[in-house]
Amino acid sequence: MPEVPDLEAIRGFLNRRIVGTTIERVDVTIPVVIRIPREDFTSLLTGTTLGEIHRYGKFLLFSTGNGRVLVINPMLTGRFSLVEPTAKKLGRTCFTLALSNGCELRYADQRVMGRVYLVTPEEVPSLPQFSDMGPDVLDPTLTEDVFRQRIRKYSGQIKSILVNAKFVAGIGNAYSDEILWEAGIHPYRKRTEITDEEMTKLYNAISSVLRWSEGVVAEKMSESLDYSEWRDHLKVHRRGGQPCPRCGNTISEITAGQRITSFCRHCQP
């Protein structure tokens, strides 16, 4: 699943390359992901200019010259590529935008779980899932005081809270493991068991882990958007059985509810 570092890298890559280009042709091959009729999607986008791309949580928002916003929630397997028209298409490419710079922006989705909307700016906040989200995890207004006030509403396991978009938007399974390892907090501890000092460590770890990872992913994605999820830089997620990079003890890995959780029992008591 693309998470904030991936989506921020994609956003930066596209902002450097497609802002100001015109959509000359729209090809829809798997219309089920698009939440308006195919004909409307095609006619509204054809001939318009692409503006700046923004991100909120796990949504990417493409502004357009006709006042509409192309909103994409890639869910688990949504992938973007910006390629020459002759490049081989990824499996289950859902739609292609042929741009005036000679490239094609393509969206593929192996599980066809993503959701694509074309709406007015006023309609964006009421979109499914979007309307339920809390503040974006990297929003500067999410101060430590605001973070603490919001988290008091939740009493479950801390990892489950972090990945709950109603709490804050943008943290997924992989980076919740990294954040909790950085903060030294066991993923299955209850929020009510976490001390004030640990809460400060958690708040600081969110920003440091995501910002650092964003830079790593952006560097890997500097030349091509045709990518898989970049996870080689992660220190604990999906590294069960390997030594912890902090203490050397073996990293534990638990699968529950189709979610893999990786952590160090020594560093995260």
Instruction: Name the residue ranges covered by the structural domains of the chain.
Output: 4-132, 144-263
Of the listed 55, 58, 191, 239, which one is catalytic?
A: 58
Question: Which carries the bigger pLDDT value, residue 226 or residue 30?
Answer: 30
Of the listed 35, 189, 220, 259, which one is catalytic?
A: 259
* Among candidate residues 211, 174, 188, 206, the one with its CA nearest the CA of residue 76: 174
209-216: long-range pairs with CB below 8 Å, 24+: 209/175, 209/178, 209/179, 209/182, 210/4, 210/5, 210/137, 210/138, 210/170, 210/175, 210/179, 211/138, 213/5, 213/175, 213/178, 214/4, 214/5, 214/8, 214/9, 216/5
Which CATH code for domain 4-132? 3.20.190.10
Eight-state DSSP code of residue 239: -
Question: Which carries the bigger pLDDT value, residue 76 or residue 210?
Answer: 210
**For residue 257, what pLDDT is reported?**
74
- Please count the residues of the chain: 269
Is residue 205 within 8 Å of residue 182, measured between CB atoms?
A: yes
The answer to whether 229 is a known catalytic residue is no
**What region does 112 belong to: left with phi over 0, alpha with psi -120 to 50, or beta?**
left
Is a pLDDT exceeding 80 seen at residue 228?
A: no
What does the DSSP assignment read for 21-63?
A: -BEEEEEES-GGGBSS-HHHHHHHHTTPBEEEEEEETTEEEEE
Cβ atoms within 10 A of the Cβ of 34, count?
Answer: 21
**For residue 229, what pLDDT is reported?**
67
If pLDDT is split at 50, 70 and 90, which confidence band does 226 have?
Answer: low
The answer to whether 2 is a known catalytic residue is yes
**Architecture of the 144-263 domain:** Orthogonal Bundle (1.10)
The answer to whether 259 is a known catalytic residue is yes
Q: What is the pLDDT of residues 86-115, one digit of tens each?
A: 999 999 999 999 999 999 999 999 999 999
Mean pLDDT for 124-139 is 95
Q: What is the pLDDT of residues 169-204, one digit of tens each?
A: 999 999 999 999 999 999 999 999 999 999 999 999
If pLDDT is split at 50, 70 and 90, which confidence band does 259 have?
Answer: confident
Of the listed 3, 104, 182, 214, which one is catalytic?
A: 3
The answer to whether 31 is a known catalytic residue is no
**Token representation of residue 157:** 């396991």
**For residue 231, what pLDDT is reported?**
83
Provide the percentage of residues in the chain whose pLDDT is more than 90: 91
**For residue 76, what pLDDT is reported?**
87
Is a pLDDT exceeding 80 seen at residue 13?
A: yes
| 3-class DSSP state of 155 | coil
Of the listed 2, 5, 135, 187, which one is catalytic?
A: 2
